Every structure is written in C-alpha cells, then in structure tokens.
Amino acid sequence: MPTRVVGASRTDAGVHALRQVASLSTTASIEPRAFRRALNAVLPAAIRVLDSREAPAGFDARRSARGKRYAYLIDGGVCADPFLRRYAWHLPWPLDRTAMSRALGFVRGKHDFSAFCAAAGRGRSPICTVRSARLVSRKTRVVVLISADSFLHHMVRNLVGSLVEIGRGVERPEWIVQVLDGRDRTRAGPTAPPQGLVLARVMYP
C-alpha cells in the first residue's frame, strides 16, 4: 500500500522551498539518519532531505503548523543577474524602498486579506495575522520577508505586486490600507511572478 506523505505547504509551479516539512506514518523500522540517506539517494538533485526524525504521535506537517515565513527576492539590477533568473523577479527600474517598507507596516496584524487572494483560494477564512513584515535590501537586491499564522492563495505574490506599485510611485503607502479595507482583488496590484517566492520556514509549537 502506498505511503501517504503530508506536506506543510503546497507551492505553485515556479515557487521554491528552503524549509519544506513533510510527515508520514510507517510501520517500517529504520533509523532517521539512514532514512534521510536513503531518500537522498533516490530523489532528484534539486530536492534534498536535510533532516529526518521521529515525530510525536498525531503530528501532521500541515495541521500542526502554527505559521510560515516567506521570502520574495527582487533583482533590481540594470541587467538581470543570470544566476538569479530562476529565483528573482527582475525589475530594472528604481524602487522607493522607504515607501515599500512603510506600506509593509500597514499589513502587520490581523486583517481580512480578501483583496490579496486569488479566486482559486476563496472558500476559506480570509482572516490572517501577519506577525512580521519587513523589507531587507542590499545594493540592487530587495527581499520582502513576511511571517503569518496562515496565508491565502497567491497572497504573498499579490502583496509584492502591490508593493512594487508603491515602490514605482504609482501608489502611496497608505493605498495598501484602502485595498485591505476594500476586500476587492481588482483594487490591488498585479500578481508578482512565482520564481522570486521562497517558503523559508514552517513554524511549529
């Protein structure tokens, strides 16, 4: 009988994961380190198991999670870095990073994020609590870091697309509040492409 594996988070095509977590139940007797080595021996090179351990009874990688952290990388160089082609959104124009950081302050806390949810993700509660939202920049690169108790479908990518509108001067930082209050996806910015998004961490109690 096939073994059912539960992943902590589903990622869209083109989105990456640094710290994906998966759980499974098995009657097999195998030492965790040996299990990790066995998996890495057969997995494609793009996927590596970094750790393996026995979990408490009832642990479920998805249902037991208490939050996630995502990172989104923007490459702001005049010429796109070829090494970042699969891992960043190339935007060859100046962005007002101060305005973007200010806008991120408005999304912290508990809000209805309907305006940042793709149609395919509707049907679940749109209320999420953003615990941390900040912008880290160095030279031509910008990273948007967001941690929350839960995320809606395309929520981070839609937030980043809206932040870029603010960074370009199309909208003011306070506009993000109007978008949140409006709860209308058509009022937010475009969806950022998938390649810049990384599931950075899954949090457990």
**12 tagged catalytic:** yes
**Active-site residue (options: 12, 60, 181, 184):** 12
Residue of 181, 178, 194, 109 lying closest to 148 (CA atoms): 109
Residue 51 and residue 116 in contact, taking contact as beta carbons nearer than 8 Å: no
CB proximity list for 167: less than 8 A, separation 6 or greater: 95, 96, 97, 99, 100
Residue 115 lies in a domain: yes
If one counts the domains in the chain, the total is: 1
- Tell me, what CATH number does 155's domain have? 3.30.70.660
Confidence band of 121 (pLDDT split at 50, 70, 90): low
Looking at per-residue confidence, does 11 or 128 come out higher? 128
pLDDT bin (cut points 50, 70, 90) of residue 113 is: very high
Residue 83 belongs to some domain of the structure: yes
| 155-167 helix and 175-182 helix, angle to the nearest 10 degrees | 150
Structural domain containing residue 73: 67-203
Q: Tell whether pTM > 0.85.
A: yes
Residue 46 lies in a domain: no
